[in-house]
Structure 1
């Protein structure tokens, strides 16, 4: 992965990667460790420890700090925010999400709907991210430009929905989009230098998408490295005035 064009920075940057034990989250950790030409302090959260993330932390003890976090537990989010003290965060990238619940595939029909499954979709995909926005506002409210980015999904676009199905996943991502659009409007008043954006990463070759890759054309199935590079190309150009935008992996703007 080649270096991208980074704006000049005259002070160290602080990055928070939420969901760093997943494919894309781990890819972002690697990117900030290996590709960024200025000093970066990374706080990376995980729900279940993985060997690769532990190894990176041991190799980079001054640059990478691991934090256990379940974003469905608000008390844990609040505790993480308190752990950072008065640290100013320049990039917060939330990569947490679920595509299906345990052994239940995404619902193709009304007859497959289960309230408990819907509640889990919303807890992880919708409520957790906006609670991050609630508790990390003090860290993103500073004079330097900052970014609060959350992985969403094109299937969460109501305007783009022509196929139906995947009730819980679609609905939870649509709810995420509205919650973060609201957040962007409020942040514009109280943290005007922070851009709140949503990102559709495309289909990435991770354990999350593996059960659903059969009909994906090879050229539309991205490696983690390519997905991160494509999303970073967007993040590097985002300005505060772009806050409240829903971007696809290629930089185009998706309909709500």
Structure 2
């Protein structure tokens, strides 16, 4: 993939920054564009604003950037006020909508505006961070209503996107990736019961995810893969 560009969205987060850094270090791309809401981003991109996403894509087009890889490294599990629900009585409509906006709607809108920028004649990769808890068939514990449901919605979005885009580019790979438990602000309140060997520092997590992504083929498009390359059933 030498001579091509990659875009990392959510590049100021723990995993996003590590993904961007790994791509810059290994030299597979001539240019890695880090997009986020931060002032360090060449243009601000806010997942909660379709206009912001559209403007970021327009900036890419104006600068003649046709990425070979887009990696959406974003997600919401908790904020300063609320965390994942443990029971039905904790459901809150605003929090549910916020989960869907960040975890499903935002990445889908990224695909809406960024996939058309990608070359339809070459093997492209479009990846989003998902989570094993978004698997309906794997759900044995319940709880975490908003996070589980929004990640399940994201997984369906990825499946839909892969089907539509395969008709435009049969070499495209569009997937959801589960990074495991990574030592970032997102997982910090929930690390207590995680074995040390399964708590990954962000640099290691980034390398693992990129190794998985590199190994995938067009037939894998639309699927969900864990950090170790195993497929997760929806």
Which TM-score tier does this pair reach, normalised by the shorter chain?
over 0.9
Report how far residue 39 of structure 1 moved.
Answer: 4.3
Q: Superposition pairs for residues 113-152 of structure 1, below 5 Å?
A: 113-152=91-130
CA deviation profile, 1:200-245 (whole Å, cap 9, x unmatched): 0000000111111011111110010110111011111122222111
Contact persistence 2:68–2:119 (CA under 8 A): no
- Please, what is the CA RMSD of the aligned residues? 1.4
Give, in whole Å, the separation in 2 of the partners of 1:39 and 1:91.
9
Contact persistence 1:137–1:191 (CA under 8 A): no
Where in structure 1 are there 5+ consecutive unaligned residues? 1-8, 55-64
Match of 1:240 among 204, 218, 227: 218
Match of 1:192 among 142, 157, 170: 170
1:90 matched residue in structure 2:
68
Query: What is the SS of the residue equivalent to 1:196?
Result: strand
Give, in whole Å, the separation in 2 of the partners of 1:182 and 1:33.
30
Match of 1:249 among 227, 231, 234: 227
Match of 2:47 among 56, 71, 75: 71
- Relative to structure 2, which stretch is displaced further, 139-148 or 21-30? 139-148
2:205 matched residue in structure 1:
227
Contact persistence 1:99–1:106 (CA under 8 A): yes
The TM-score, its normalising length taken from structure 2, stands at: 0.95
Give, in whole Å, the separation in 2 of the partners of 1:43 and 1:204.
23
Give, in whole Å, the separation in 1 of the partners of 2:124 and 2:231.
20
- Relative to structure 2, which stretch is displaced further, 203-212 or 135-144? 135-144
2:25 matched residue in structure 1:
34
Contact persistence 2:23–2:29 (CA under 8 A): no
Q: How many residues are paired up?
A: 232
Contact persistence 1:47–1:70 (CA under 8 A): yes
Q: Which stretches of structure 1, 4 residues or more, deviate above 3 A after TM superposition?
A: none
